[in-house]
Structure 1
Amino acid sequence: MLSDDDILAAVRRGLGAAGADPAAFPAHGARITRHLLVDGEIVRSVETREERTGFQPGSPDLSDRPRYDDLDGYAIPAPSDPRNPSTLLLVRRGTVDPRPCVCTNGRRQCPRCEGAGDVKCPAYVPCGGCKGRLCCLSCEGTGKPALKAADRPQGETGTRVRCRECGAEDTACGKCRGAGQKKCGVCRGSGTRPCPVCERDGTIAHEYCEGTGRYVRWTEGVVERRPVVDAFKETSSLPDRAFAWTREDDAWQHVDTLDTLDTLDADLDADPGADLGADTGLDPAVAAYLKPRLGHHDGEVGRRVRVRHLSLARVTHDDHPHRVHVVIPGPVTPRVVTVRSPRRTRQLALLALVVLVAAVTVARLLS
């Protein structure tokens, strides 16, 4: 951490004082306050455990799944990286129950054809040319000539042929020749066609057992771990724009620490007022600042804390009331960012408002 003398010397250099002359920015009248910038995240691995009924059709091999007697007491190693989600499936000992299915060898009657294998199909369908209307201008498909022939449909350009029903010349549709319908192209006029569901078998695979004729049930334990991320970017009594004053090559302090389940259990037994820095690997000042975020969450089995922090110095001086100097530690020497003081900002805002009011007043007087 920079000393007060280092901070004042940096400000003097920032003002261009030759040799950082103390007279350019005397210690008397200078006020130094220190502020912390903290940027990072806390990733917790939160675990939930539940039991449910497991089911698989057929005769699955469950020998590779771990067995348990008490789900809450089943020990699992802490996660190596809390950011990675995971799901562990267990089998409660003595609950595996294989059974035969109620179906017939994995088959059941087809619901579409009700076991017949065929479904009904219209033997004849309307003619694609005349759609069954005015198939013959003389008899309209009845075979008996009408007293007065019908007029050709408006817009029809196709050639009419001899009707095979009534024999009239040049009156019938060229496609059906007066019949008004044609044999179905699927069943060829038979009136039935193969069932599209069972393909004429009459049965289909039973969905419950997937055609195997057997299934297995058991009590399944599910241990799920999911990451919960608490990201933060905060300052202590500085505006958020303070992060814009910094650079990546400034003297940020980085911490990356992994807490296992044993560490978290120790934290729970510790004195709530104890120094968090010793347990988390964080700088004590930063740990104290983050203490409200570092509390144990329900189901937490692992935690990773990634933090970078930077201590800034804010310097004001009675001889320079309109400026605020921010001293930022650097890799070699500190650097200085100079901004307007809040008082100066208010003065400029008030001046701008006065100018605006005056301009509006003059414009009204001249109009």
Structure 2
Amino acid sequence: MGAFFSFCKDHKVIVLGLTTSGILASVGLLYYRSDKNYKYKEDQEYLGPLNTSNNMYESVNKNTKKQNIFDLEKDTIQTRFTSAMNAFDSISNLIRVNYIPNTNCLEPQTIVDILQYTIEIAGDEYIRITLANRKQRRNYKQNSQLNLYKQYILKYNEDIEELLEKSQAELLQRLGVSKDIFEESMLALMEKGFFQQLYMLQASVKQKIKEKIVSYQDLSVQQVKEIIRYSIKILKQQPEPFQYIVNQMMNKNELKEYIPNAINMIVQDFTFQKFKVEEEDQIKNLQKPECMGDSEIHQLLGEIESTMADVMNQLGLGGIDSIPENFENFT
């Protein structure tokens, strides 16, 4: 999505927080920063009191989410197009485009709003793409058609990236903001030393869209722990088709950037096969107070983070330690 990911790709950085198992990446972002000495207060003096809740738009749409899921498979291209255009009209009226005085750079809050409202615009199509891809790729996995399974994992990542890019581009056009201005504004913040902050914001945006698929499963704390332990087991033992797909992707440079996402999807598919629990179910239940306050879950999330880091390091792809503390130290 724009300058940030282009910048990471240009410097061959693969970041762990965006791509590890959904059980870590979604709520784990909260655990990760709560356990680190994260220099947030000082950063806020520059970034300002950023509103990251999208409360205005969520309050309007919270009653339609359930219906959206069941309608999408019946939708035509025209109905989806109409729905998307209505979303653009609603959201573009909520974003205030402000520039830092005497510059061509957008204010941080405007950047945050553009990134987060992109999720709302892409939401319905994201649900449709995700549900359709899950169904097809799991059918290939069940029938041991691993080449086709790998292709659908790659297709999903490419489709979602394209969806977010197009949604953001359309939103920028409606706001009268050029893509160049938006990306230059992002880079300006990076150059001021806010690389990690933008990284975490982008990570939260990429994970937040997953909540568009509504979960109806309630899990106990013990069930959540069992799922995390099983995810760790998959990462450590790397069964088929894990090894097959990762090995194939490692042999092609153009596919390496998708490996972390592919690992996440493979882990999620194994988890669903065993527990009939989807990623959105894990996200919802991990955010329950009884899970957020459980010390063993904290420990397990730390273990899955370190296990994923080990996997990435074994593949020579780096991990969370590849993220620089400061843009100026980024080489």
Higher relative contact order, chain-length normalized (CA < 8 Å, sep 6+): 2
Structure with the largest fraction of helix: 2
Common fold by TM > 0.5: no
Structure with the largest fraction of strand: 1
The structure with the largest alpha-carbon Rg is: 1
TM-score band, normalised by shorter chain? under 0.3
TM-score w.r.t. length of structure 2: 0.16
